[in-house]
Amino acid sequence: MQKQTYRGNTLSASTVVTELAAWENIYMVEVVRSCPEMCRFCLASYLTLPFRTANLESSLIPAINRGLTVTKRLGLLGASVTQHPEFNELLDYLSKPEYDDVRLSLASVRTNTVTVKLAETLTKRDTRSITIAVESGSDRLRKIINKKLDNDEIIQAAINAKAGGLKSLKLYGMVGIPGEESEDLDATVAMMQEIKKAAPGLRLTLGCSTFVPKSHTPFQWFGVNPAAEKRLKFLEKKLRSNGMDFRPESYRWSVIQALISRGDRRLSYLLEKVRHYGDSPGSYRRGFKELRGQLPPIDFYVNQDWELNQVLPWSHLQGPLPETTLKKHLNDSQIWARDKLSQATKN
């Protein structure tokens, strides 16, 4: 079954703006779809390729004007909005005096697109904080995942954010990336300390999740690293004791995310049961116990590295890239890995 892809240059915008929405009273405009960066773990990029952009004149500006007749809060949406080829023109447009009372929010932005101008525009439009996804403080680990970013660019982004008047910088990180070692965690702590030194006074937060494998990505064969929970605790201790805010995502919920992400049709029996047991990670474990013998153990779905020749639960769905390309990208990532990753690619 082949995935169908819309290729027009008009993307989505809110059709209902209400205080009851998850983002209350914000009119959302989709600026870009997919992401050309292709970080090896990223579903938002790999599953929705190719990267598409909404046309500024014929699509974005009319949508923004329509939205601003009902609210003064505008959200620019997309996996990497600052990569829109006319993003600067869009910022100029939103800097016009008639938009002075508009409050502008951005999804996370690519680190090396955080300029002083972007920070100033956001500050003028009542935003105090910006979010960048750095994944790790280790340059080696970022090479494994194909994140084309180095620590100097991250530090420069912090300096620019502060110079443009922003009060806080949020960074997204991840632990348990396949190939991660303890030195990589030390590198994350060191990077946060360097940022603090380079942009004193800027409030720093590191939000951190656990690597969860996603279908149709080159890392779909890797399981969740059970050491991730300890690694989150390690970062928490080191960063909080240095006066930085650390916000970990629940490891236990990451396990459930992985279960659903790599689950096959046999899991339907489990989901049926869990429905009655309440909304907690423990409910899933209880369901697994009751279905012992009828399902593979939870570790099979969550923690095991899968063989490259295994039929995957989604093998019958043809995504934007064939499996051979995903395997090639996985193989490319191994150049930067030490021993630990080699097992999966040997098979």
Nearer to ligand SF4, 85 or 97 (CB): 85
E-assigned strand segments in 243-305: 245-248
Nearest approach, Cβ of 45 to ligand SF4 (angstroms)?
Answer: 3
CA distances from 87 to 14, 50, 73, 119 (A): 20, 19, 18, 13
- Which 3-state string (H, E, C) describes 158-194? HHHHHHCCCCEEEEEEEECCCCCCHHHHHHHHHHHHH
Upper half-sphere CA count for residue 129 (Cβ side, 13 Å): 12
* Structural Rg of the chain based on CA atoms: 21
- Distance of closest approach, residue 295 Cβ to ligand SF4, in angstroms: 31
In whole angstroms, give the CA distance from residue 295 to residue 317. Answer: 23
* Shortest Å, Cβ 65 to ligand SF4: 28
**Contact 119/130 with Cβ under 8 angstroms?**
yes
Cα dist from 255 to 15, 146, 238, 287, 290, whole Å: 34, 24, 24, 14, 18
Least Å distance, CB 2 to ligand SF4, is 22
Q: How far is the CB of 329 from ligand SF4 (least distance, A)?
A: 12
Segment interacting with ligand SF4, rule: CB under 6 A, options 37-45, 206-214, 294-302, 331-339: 37-45
Residue burial 1-11, b: 16+ Cβ < 10 Å; e: rest = eeeeeeeeeeb
CB of 292 to ligand SF4, least distance (A): 37
Q: Which amino acid is at 244?
A: M
**Facing residues of 209 across strands?**
174
Using rule CB under 6 A, residue 30 touches ligand SF4 = no
Query: Per rule CB under 6 A, is residue 157 in the interface with ligand SF4?
Result: no
Q: Among residues 191 and 295, whose Cβ is nearest to ligand SF4?
A: 191
Q: Which of 37, 180, 184, 229 binds ligand SF4 (CB under 6 A)?
A: 37
| Subset of residues 116 to 155 that bind ligand SF4, contact rule: CB under 6 A | 133
C-alpha torsion sign, points 34, 36, 42, 46:
positive
Closer residue to ligand SF4 in complex, CB, 35/56: 35
Residue in 11, 26, 28, 42 binding ligand SF4, rule: CB under 6 A: 42
Size of site (CB under 6 A) for ligand SF4: 10
CA 232 to CA 16: how far, in whole Å?
A: 38
Among 32, 35, 60, 212, binds ligand SF4 (CB under 6 A): 35
Binding mask 66-105 for ligand SF4 (x = CB under 6 A): -------------xx-------------------------
Q: From the CB of 30, what's the least distance to ligand SF4, in Å?
A: 14
206 sits near ligand SF4 (criterion: CB under 6 A): no
217 in Cβ contact with 44 (< 8 Å): no
Helices 182-198 and 228-240 cross at an angle (nearest 10°) of 30
Minimum Å gap between C-beta 174 and ligand SF4 is: 9
Which of 29, 39, 130, 212 touches ligand SF4 (CB under 6 A)? 39
**Whose Cβ is closer to ligand SF4: residue 30's or residue 37's?**
37
Asked if residue 185 binds ligand SF4 (CB under 6 A), the reply is no
Among 14, 45, 121, 333, binds ligand SF4 (CB under 6 A): 45
Identity of the amino acid at 305: D
Q: Are 23 and 17 in contact (CB under 8 A)?
A: no
Residues binding ligand SF4 (CB under 6 A) = 35, 37-39, 42, 44-45, 79-80, 133
